[in-house]
Amino acid sequence: MNEKKVVGRNVAIALGIICIIMTVGLVGAISNYTSIISGKDNTIASKDSQIASLNSQVSNLTDTVNLAKSTTWIDDQTISQSAYSYTHWTFSASYAGYVSVWVHTSTTTNTYVRVIYTAYGVNYDNQIVVGTGGTAVFSLLPCSSIEIRVGNTNLISGATETVTITYHY
């Protein structure tokens, strides 16, 4: 009977030691994962900063998909032309969208805006008459060479226009 008590006591001590080791390991694991989650571990980027970065990317892409972004290519520029001529600019567009060409003022009723480009096998060439002022809007596909012309069809005299061109994407 005495031998059984010794074996029972040894088993109880071994189980107690195992429980203590497992408890220390569990406390260590909880501490490690808590520091990772809270971002206190300098070797792992903070989860909050990763989430903020991803949210910013999603917001930026959502704005692009909804055509909520724009870039002004030409801002309130005054141009002068001789009779039956035009001024042109060349731009590139990374995203599908549209371009608005606002002729603030023109000295002729014969002012036009023309957009020309080729993208994905589509040849685009469209012209809108804006007269002494107005806005012409053209759809755009992504393209590396978009030509925008503002001109006049006067046969004798030249023209002066003030223009703003904005790319919306």
What is the average pLDDT across 103-120? 98
pLDDT tens, position by position, 6-23: 667 888 898 999 999 999
Hey, what CATH topology would domain 68-168 get?
Jelly Rolls (2.60.120)
> Does residue 77 have a pLDDT over 70?
yes
The 10s digit of each residue's pLDDT in 118-159 is 999 999 999 999 999 999 999 999 999 999 999 999 999 999
- According to the model, what pLDDT value does residue 40 have? 61
Task: Break the chain into its structural domains and give their ranges.
Answer: 2-64, 68-168
128, 131, 134, 135: CA torsion to nearest 10: 10
Residue 9: its pLDDT value, please? Answer: 83
Residue with tokens 């002012």: 111
- Span 21-58, pLDDT tens digits: 999 999 999 988 887 776 665 555 677 788 899 999 99
